[in-house]
Amino acid sequence: MHAWIKRLLLPLCMLMAVSSQAWSADDLKSWNDGPNKKSITDFVERVTKDGSADFIPVPERVAVFDNDGTLWAEQPLYFQLFFALDRVKVMAPDHPEWKTQEPFASLLKGDVKGALSGGEKAIMEIVMATHSGMSSDEFDAIVRDWVKTAKHPKSGKHYTEMVYQPMVELLGYLRANGFKTYIVSGGGIDFMRPWTEEIYGVPPEQVVGSSGKIAFEMLDGKGVIMRIPEINFIDDKAGKPVGIHQHIGRRPVMAFGNSDGDLQMLQWTCTRQGPSFCAYVHHTDAKREWAYDRNSSIGRLAKGLDEAKARSWTLIDMKEDWSKVFAYE
Amino acid sequence: MHAWIKRLLLPLCMLMAVSSQAWSADDLKSWNDGPNKKSITDFVERVTKDGSADFIPVPERVAVFDNDGTLWAEQPLYFQLFFALDRVKVMAPDHPEWKTQEPFASLLKGDVKGALSGGEKAIMEIVMATHSGMSSDEFDAIVRDWVKTAKHPKSGKHYTEMVYQPMVELLGYLRANGFKTYIVSGGGIDFMRPWTEEIYGVPPEQVVGSSGKIAFEMLDGKGVIMRIPEINFIDDKAGKPVGIHQHIGRRPVMAFGNSDGDLQMLQWTCTRQGPSFCAYVHHTDAKREWAYDRNSSIGRLAKGLDEAKARSWTLIDMKEDWSKVFAYE
């Protein structure tokens, strides 16, 4: 492109980037018309309309999304746990001691339930053994390979195919309206970053998540980041507003979650001064996805359901509001 | 702007954003022509030229900048320390115990040197006392007010006027060439964020720095982030690549620093696979700024000077390379 064309286009493009007129909501094709879809588009139109009392300048249009259960499925286990279990099998030949050592012994016999009966401690041991002890580049390559090859036990689809089509459309719709979209997940930050840009259009620098400690080293004259088997940060519950403040340094104006682990993120977003929008994705569709809330061990939504009612947050009903859940349907 | 104009412009604007032709280097007005300026513009032209073997796609164009001594001055003390000292004076009436308690007692008598003779421990006490015990919003307001009012003891200028004009131009030049510019500083992340967007064009979400612990609370039904007097992260030396990985999740391709505290950031950047560019700002101008390197207690540059030579990094000579240091000159 010639320099003079650029000089001509630049002001127009900048105007476009900050332009106030909302894009059409036509892009939300997998959303059924109804009060919930309307609550989203009404809010976006209101805060992006020049001269509106509720106008929010582009740099402050921060929208945060939980991942597990909000952008992709999380049943019957968090997908990152499937990743860890797959890794245990791959790594087992190098760890003969695992044959007699729990939770690995049960896992290698195919007894996932038995392995996870050790609770959080067992899960942590599995995660540490499979997520550390290598460089950041090596881990990145392992995740990329797994995402390309592994399949979900129930659907038989790749895990990254099990993202919610309406939410992918929502991410795009918000970005088209000047929002910067972030993932703020209890899942591992480095487990998500290798694929969020391709799948969600969310680049690595806009992913916030849990993390292990890392350390910089010079190895044969080259810099490497090594992954250390210690927890650095848990991006869940009250950790979510903390992660948001540390990474983004701006208070979000829109937040989407699906569980009690997202409650504080929604509270932080929707008790700001000025307009804000919070929504829970409610898993109500046992046929196309899963139906669960108050009594689920994964993605429990109890306190959040009460607070959503008390604060008039939007409760997205998967069964009623989404004409399609997964793109492959 | 009408929707159809947008539909027409969008592809052009996107093309422009990723367009390969470099913008002119005319914007680097405060740089004298010479090998150092040329090393920067040659690199940028090479990696942004379509079809070049060294072409770097826009999303991967990450440039990281140290702040103290690289983007603004740092003598005779780090400016954040002046902020802390000013805060001690403001807060003293509420802390009668400081009259007899070091390092505060010396400070309040005007004996800065005596107060800082306690070394890192004394500095930490001063920083903790002045940077925590309030909400994130309150701290933000305090910093904004200080930046507007406080003046540097030698120049008599506001601290944010003591930014290096050539570096501000460089930030703009890189952004015009598709780079995302980040600050990666040993200074406090929340001390920088309130003013980096206005002064450098670097938004809060692109600032990485040292931090104290924070906690989320609900107070009278509203969310707040409280600042806790404990260290969370020191973004210095080997901490810089760690901070970069945690916040950005991409390996930078350009890095600018001025001290040994930046060495690991430059190593991490310039030992990547593919093209990279590293430079040290060398403080050589005792007349317009300060001259210091190997023997300075603030901004010491010794190991880095040796490594810059060994690895052929660019050594920016303030006296020779910059026609102007500060905009107010």
B275 and B176 within one domain: yes
B271-281 pLDDT, tens digit per residue, is 999 999 999 99
Question: What are the φ/ψ torsions at residue A52 (nearest 5 degrees)?
Answer: -65, 145
B51-65 pLDDT, tens digit per residue, is 999 999 999 999 999
For residues A32 and A23, give the distance between their C-alpha atoms in angstroms, rounded to a whole number.
Answer: 18
Residue A212 lies in a domain: yes
Comparing A14-23, A70-79, A298-307, B41-50, the range with the smallest average pLDDT is A14-23
Stretch B212-241: mean pLDDT? 97
User: How many domains, in total, are found in chain B?
Assistant: 2
For residues A55 and B225, give the distance between their C-alpha atoms in angstroms, rounded to a whole number.
Answer: 25
- pLDDT of B93 > 80? The answer is yes
For residues B203 and A282, give the distance between their C-alpha atoms in angstroms, rounded to a whole number.
Answer: 34
Determine if the peptide bond prior to B203 is cis (ω within 30°). no
Please count the residue pairs, one from chain A and one from chain B, whose beta carbons lie less than 8 angstroms apart: 130
- pLDDT of A18 > 70? The answer is no
β pairing state of A180-188 and A207-219: parallel
Structure token pair of residue B96: 């009668």
Structure token pair of residue B26: 């005319």
- pLDDT of B55: 98
CB contact under 8 A, B242 and A225: yes
- pLDDT of B7 > 60? The answer is no
Chain B from 174 to 193: CB within 8 A of any A CB? 180, 189-190, 193
Which among B88, B117, B149 is the end of a domain? B149
- pLDDT of A119: 87
Residue A1 lies in a domain: no
Integer-rounded Cα Rg, in Å, for chain A is: 21
Residue A133 lies in a domain: yes
- pLDDT of B184 > 80? The answer is yes
- pLDDT of B132 > 50? The answer is yes
A152-194 pLDDT, tens digit per residue, is 999 999 999 999 999 999 999 999 999 999 999 999 999 999 9
Distance from CA of B56 to the nearest CA of A (A): 16
- pLDDT of B120: 85
- pLDDT of B5: 54
- pLDDT of A17: 46
Residue A42 lies in a domain: yes
Residue A31 lies in a domain: yes
CB contact under 8 A, A2 and B21: yes
B265 and B133 within one domain: no
Stretch B141-153: mean pLDDT? 98
B71 and B188 within one domain: yes
Range of the domain at B192: 19-76+161-321
- pLDDT of A9: 57
Residue in chain B lying closest to A273 (CA): B222
- CATH number of the domain within which A260 lies: 3.40.50.1000
Residue A10 lies in a domain: no
B279 and B247 within one domain: yes
A144 and A47 within one domain: no
A136-146 pLDDT, tens digit per residue, is 999 999 999 99
A225 and A272 within one domain: yes
- pLDDT of A8 > 70? The answer is no
B196 and B51 within one domain: yes
- pLDDT of B8: 54
B222 and B167 within one domain: yes
Closest partner CB to B216 (pick from A180, A221, A241): A241
Is the Cβ of A238 closer than 8 Å to some Cβ of chain B?
A: yes
DSSP string spanning B104-163?
HHHHHTT-HHHHHTTHHHHHHHHHHHHHSSSBHHHHHHHHHHHHHH-B-TTT-SBGGG-B
Chain B from 47 to 106: CB within 8 A of any A CB? 59
DSSP string spanning A107-155?
HHTT-HHHHHTTHHHHHHHHHHHHHSSSBHHHHHHHHHHHHHH-B-TTT
B278-295 pLDDT, tens digit per residue, is 999 999 999 999 999 999
- pLDDT of B135 > 50? The answer is yes
A265 and A197 within one domain: yes
Stretch B201-229: mean pLDDT? 98
Structure token pair of residue B173: 């030049």
Decide: residue A10, CB within 10 A, 0-12 exposed, 13-18 middle, 19+ buried: middle
Distance from CA of B207 to the nearest CA of A (A): 8
Stretch B68-96: mean pLDDT? 97
B71 and B46 within one domain: yes
For residues A89 and A86, give the distance between their C-alpha atoms in angstroms, rounded to a whole number.
Answer: 5
- pLDDT of A57 > 90? The answer is yes
CB contact under 8 A, B3 and A10: no
The percent of residues above 90 in pLDDT, for chain A, comes to 88
A187 and A40 within one domain: yes
Which among B149, B184, B204 is the end of a domain? B149
Residue in chain B lying closest to A22 (CA): B3
- pLDDT of B20 > 50? The answer is no
Which among B100, B127, B149 is the end of a domain? B149
A84-119 pLDDT, tens digit per residue, is 999 999 999 999 999 999 999 999 998 999 998 988
- pLDDT of B278: 98
Comparing A244-253, A305-314, B3-12, B51-60, the range with the smallest average pLDDT is B3-12
Give the containing element (helix H, strand E) for A261: none
Q: pLDDT band at A12, cuts 50/70/90?
A: low
Q: Tell me the average pLDDT of chain B.
A: 93
Stretch B197-203: mean pLDDT? 98
CB contact under 8 A, B13 and A15: no
A185 and A301 within one domain: yes
